Chain A
Amino acid sequence: MVSIITERAEMPLSEARIDADEFARLRRENLARWPTGAEVDLDEAAEYHRNLPQHKQLGWVMRRAVAEGRCLVQPRGGFGTFELQLELMTTLDREGLADIVPTTTDSYTRNERWEQAAKGIEESKKAGRSMLNGMPLVNYGPKVARQLNQAIDKPSIVLSGTSMPKLTSEIGIAGGYSGYLGSGIAYTVSYTKEVPIEVGIRNYQYLDRLASEYMAKGVELHRRQPGFLTGTNIPPSIAIITCVLDALMAAAQGVRNYGLEMGQTMHLIQDAAAIACCRELCQEYLAKRGYTDVFTPITSLHWMGAWPQDEASCQTMVAYGGTLAAIGGAASVTTKSVHEAFGIPTPAANAEGLRTTRMAVYLARHIRLDGLPEMEREKDLIRREVRAVIDKVLEMGDGDVVVGSVRAFAAGVLDIPWSPNRYVKSNILPARDVDGYLRILSPGAMPFPKDVLEVHEESLRRRAEAEGRAYDMDLAVDSVYEMSEPLRKLLPDQFTRLAAE
């Protein structure tokens, strides 16, 4: 007997927009995976978003920020129960003066382990404190999410570090969140071990296609790419390469409001150059591919590596992070707090980080570095690094950005430092140079121009020389720890000690 039920073949991997029938089928399957999926009604949700006041729609708010030259301030944050999350979001809104209110999901949710998340909710209620590191948004569902969003007077964004955003995004957007962070390349290479790059990309094609479905119904959501990657020392060009590729993929699905995030290097000039180049290069490649109407605001992120335990040192990094974002001309900055070395901050500490940053943004609001020779030199370097790699990736995909990206990771042409993902070579190794810039110690197989690499090597060799040490991998390892080192080690307070060492 011939079965009339045939497995539908998966669509071939490509950047092409998912067609309407296929997308409808994918949505039906997706929403059936957990009971709260049944609460999602796209038409009703789109109407809910259309009726939100503009100042609660992140797509609109990001456009206003850029138009007015503002740098908005946004924290991260999520707790394991509705009550704790409500308190957090209202505190960040009112005490922290957050311009954008976040909901970070917990790590079980991110890995689609909803049964485990359910247990985490119960354990949190029992313990009277959050046992989860974020909000289990899927378990609570869109109706409860709307209660959270109705309690604040700002736009909100879902922060969910995962390569599996399909159900969480459906629930979150239907729940009134107008912003959604995450992308196929960046999150797959930094948050997963076993997920192949193409699977992560397909999952985000779904989310971007969903955003474009909302747009067809008159709702411009803000999608955003997490260029911070593995949260270590990411040289700007590496981040920007993933920004450009993820942006091209999102645009192909129909997204027109797409933010890019850049983790701070903690070097004033390099960060300003990075923000400027990210904006410029994303627009350059979008235009080359015919997308002339994509809005691409840049978000600068407080230091994403290890933080010191000393709260005074942390406070400085928070404030300096506001300065870096404002001078760099970022449309928004995402903050940390003095609790960063110990994990997730209390609502009060989180709100304090926001106000510290906000004051720094205010103080730096008039200052720009454009035209400074060091800045222009750095921008030139970044442009040459990014273009060499992107052009190669597009060539490898015969013009298809998705195919090219997957092939490029397999070949090591695309590479990410310290990646947990087994499909990433992780041979590229960054380190801080003699002048405090992040440079490339070892490029792996990434096709950077030879003369550019010579600039990197020369400045790293000068650091080794200045510190009287070998030019080797330890330069990279020490750079990972650097910011979290005790202040006395970073800047000794006794010349005698310095002489004795």
Chain B
Amino acid sequence: MKTLVTGVIGSDTHIVGNRILSMALEKAGYKVVGLGALTPAEDFVKAAIETDADAVMVSSLYGQGELDVRGFRDLFIEAGLGDIMIYIGGNLVVGKQQWGDVERRFLAMGFDRAFPPGTRTEIVIDTLARDFAARAAGKRIADSP
């Protein structure tokens, strides 16, 4: 059984979507380590080490995610988990910006996937399954379907 770490990063308290996602991931057969709201970046790394996680799923809904995830991938590299799969999703920036631009910005920061506002849990679960399959086949992430 694969292990996922979930949580809402930074000073963000929006827990509902993250909790529903965590419930859906559990139902889909994953072991979920839910860190809840208001989770510092370092706690995601600690939890990933302690639970030998296969992926980290970061939620952010309040707009300041862009500041909170500065150097997020580096924290994992420093901890020796540089290759771990990291997703992020939510309202990641302040204001309504073109999603293509936002996605590029977050992928450049080292996230394997970035999901726009309003993404349904089925999409995340489907993408996760394909990405784990791609990993098993030696690729970083799956090609677009």
Chain A: residues with CB nearer than 8 A to chain B? 80, 106-108, 110-111, 113, 116, 119-120, 123, 129-133, 161, 190-194, 230-232, 306, 309, 339, 341-346, 349, 418-420, 422, 477, 480-481, 484
CA distance A133 to B65 in the complex (A): 10
Q: Can you list 26 pairs linking A and B with CB atoms under 8 Å apart?
A: A80-B94, A106-B64, A111-B38, A113-B11, A132-B64, A132-B67, A132-B94, A133-B62, A191-B13, A192-B38, A193-B36, A193-B38, A230-B15, A309-B117, A342-B117, A343-B62, A343-B95, A343-B96, A344-B63, A344-B94, A345-B96, A346-B95, A420-B15, A420-B36, A422-B36, A481-B20
B87-118 interface (Cβ within 8 A of A): 91, 93-97, 117-118
Complexed CA–CA distance, A80 and B67 (Å): 13
Q: Does the CB pair A339–B11 fall under 8 Å? A: no
Identify the interface centre among B15, B38, B64, B94: most chain A CB within 10 Å of its CB. B94
Which residues from chain B sit less than 8 Å from chain A, CB to CB?
A: 8, 10-13, 15-17, 19-20, 23, 36-38, 61-64, 66-67, 91, 93-97, 117-118
Q: Is the CB of A130 within 8 A of B94?
A: yes
Closest to B18 in A: A420
Residues of B within 8 A of A113 (CB): 11
Decide if A131 touches B118 in the complex (CB within 8 Å).
Answer: no
Task: Please give, as numbers and ranges, the residues of chain B lying within 8 Å of A132 by CB-CB distance.
Answer: 64, 67, 94
- A420:B96 contact, CB within 8 angstroms: no
Bound CA–CA A480/B120 (angstroms): 12
Inter-subunit contact A193/B13 (CB<8 Å): yes
Closest-CB distance, A129 to chain B (whole angstroms): 7
* Distance (whole angstroms) from the CB of B99 to the closest CB of chain A: 9
**Shortest Cβ distance from B16 into A: residue:** A418
Q: Name the CB-closest residue of B to A106.
A: B64
Whether the pair B64, A339 counts as a contact (CB closer than 8 A) is no
Given known A193-B38, A342-B95, contact A133–B118 (CB-CB < 8 A):
no
Measured between C-beta atoms, what is the minimum distance from B122 to chain A in Å?
12
- Of all chain B residues, the one with the shortest Cβ separation from A476 is B20
- Write out the residue numbers on chain B whose beta carbons fall within 8 Å of the beta carbon of A191: 13
Cβ-neighbour of A480 out of B16, B37, B62, B117 (below 8 A):
B16
> Is A108 touching B11 in the complex (CB atoms < 8 A)?
yes
Chain A residues in 8 Å Cβ range of B91: 342-343
**B12's closest neighbor in chain A, by CB?**
A107
Residues in A with CB closer than 8 Å to B37 are: 193, 420
Task: Indicate if the CB atoms of A107 and B11 lie closer than 8 Å.
Answer: yes
Q: Which residues of A contact B66 (CB under 8 A)?
A: 131
Chain A neighbourhood of B8, CB < 8 A: 420
Contacts of A107 in B (CB 8 A): 10-12, 62, 64
A193 and B10 alpha carbons, distance in the complex (Å): 12
Cβ-defined contact, A133 with B117, below 8 A: no
The answer to whether residues A131 and B11 also contact, given A120-B64, A193-B37, A484-B118 and a CB cut-off of 8 A, is: no
